[in-house]
């Protein structure tokens, strides 16, 4: 079985500051890794994913995440956040043999002006 | 066009009642899921169906019964509702489960409140 730990439940940050949201996972098999974003009162949207290949993956709105196998981490970063980035961010893993997603507890990113 | 839709968006009901939440996807996907998000935002999978066949059934009380009339629909029926069932329920779908990951698309959620 796999599990996901998001170390920070809330991350307050000022606009235009950099941010890192931490995610660690445990699994006995290879996994796929994901970050989903949930804006207030909305469903989840896929932000970015790591399936294979380059360990650094990017989203269209400036976020990036790096898969670190030795540290079993997949931290999410953005060099300069906007107010509109305020949302709940979920890290998730899926076994290569199946599609079931296991989610972390979520991190609330609060961007202040 | 909405990819994954759920109805109703909000559902408020009394303990002991039976209720259903409907989910439809127009993406032509083979696999559909139900997730539960509790008050602390923790998300957990409940069920997964592939081509109308149940493939994942996590530890969920048997008061919860998924029904898939066709591969575009996966409804969730809940009998004898309890206070602890209050949560946001998300439906999702993906292309298939052939060992290659395909992105899951989520619906907007149904907020269930049991009084």
In the block, which residue shows the tokens 């972390």? A104
Enter the tokens of residue A28.
Answer: 């006995």
Confidence of residue B97 (pLDDT cuts 50, 70, 90): low
Task: Give CA–CA dist A81/A109, Å, rounded.
Answer: 10
Give pLDDT, residue B1. 64
Q: Has residue B85 got a pLDDT over 60?
A: yes
Least confident piece of the model among A62-71, B15-24, B92-101? B92-101
The answer, yes or no, to whether residue B31 has pLDDT greater than 80, is yes
| B45 alpha-carbon distance from chain centroid | 9
pLDDT value at position B12?
Answer: 97
For residue B7, whether the previous peptide bond is cis, meaning omega lies within 30 degrees of 0, is no
For residue A95, what pLDDT band results from cuts at 50, 70 and 90? Answer: confident
What backbone phi and psi angles, to 5 degrees, belong to A85? -80, -5
Contact A100 B90 (CB under 8 A): no
Encode pLDDT of A1-52 as tens digits: 778 999 999 999 999 999 999 999 998 777 889 999 999 888 899 999 998 8
Query: Residue A29, class by beta-carbon neighbours within 10 Å (0-12 exposed, 13-18 middle, 19+ buried)?
Result: exposed
Assess whether pLDDT exceeds 80 at residue B28: yes
CB of A85 within 8 A of CB of A51? no
A-B contacts (CB, under 8 Å): 55
Which residues in chain A have their CB less than 8 angstroms from residue B45's CB? 100-102
The pLDDT tens digits for B72-83 are 999 999 999 999
pLDDT digits (tens, 9 = 90+) for B32-58: 999 999 888 888 889 888 877 787 777
Under an 8 A CB cutoff, do A98 and B108 touch?
Answer: no
Inform me whether the C-beta atom of residue B60 falls under 8 Å from chain A C-beta atoms.
no
Confidence class of residue B103 from pLDDT cuts 50, 70 and 90?
A: confident
Q: Is B109 helix (H, G, I), strand (E, B) or coil?
A: coil
Q: What is the mean pLDDT of residues A55-68?
A: 92
pLDDT value at position B36? Answer: 94
| B97 closest CB neighbour out of A43, A99, A106 | A99
A59-63, A86-90, A96-100: the lowest-pLDDT one? A96-100
B60 closest CA partner among B38, B36, B33, B40? B36
**Structure-token match 């235009």, residue found:** A16
Which of B35, B101, B106 comes nearest A94 by C-beta?
B101
What is the per-residue pLDDT for A81? 97
* Mutation site, A31, A38, A42, A43, interface B, largest B CB count within 10 A: A43
Question: What is the radius of gyration, based on Cα positions, of chain B?
Answer: 13
């Amino acid at each position: 079985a796999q599990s996901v730990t998001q170390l920070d439940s809330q991350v307050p940050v000022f606009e235009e500051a950099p941010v890192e949201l931490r995610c660690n996972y445990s699994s006995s098999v290879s996994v796929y890794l994901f970050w989903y974003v949930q804006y207030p009162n909305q469903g989840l949207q896929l932000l970015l994913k790591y399936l294979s290949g380059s360990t650094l993956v990017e989203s269209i709105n400036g976020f990036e995440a790096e898969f670190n196998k030795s540290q079993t981490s997949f931290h999410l970063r953005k060099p300069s956040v906007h107010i509109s980035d305020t949302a709940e961010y979920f890290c998730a893993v899926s076994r290569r043999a199946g599609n079931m997603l296991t989610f972390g507890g979520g991190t609330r990113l609060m961007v202040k002006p | 066009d909405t990819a994954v839709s759920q109805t109703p968006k909000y559902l408020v009901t009394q303990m002991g009642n039976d209720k259903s939440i409907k989910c439809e996807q127009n993406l032509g996907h083979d696999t559909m899921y139900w997730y539960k998000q509790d008050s602390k935002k923790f998300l957990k999978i409940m069920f997964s169906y592939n081509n109308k066949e149940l493939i994942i059934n996590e530890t969920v009380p048997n008061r919860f019964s998924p029904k898939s009339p066709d591969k575009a629909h996966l409804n969730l029926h809940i009998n004898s509702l309890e206070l602890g069932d209050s949560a946001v329920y998300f439906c999702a779908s993906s292309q298939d489960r052939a060992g290659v990951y395909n992105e899951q698309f989520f619906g907007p959620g149904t907020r269930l409140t049991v009084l």
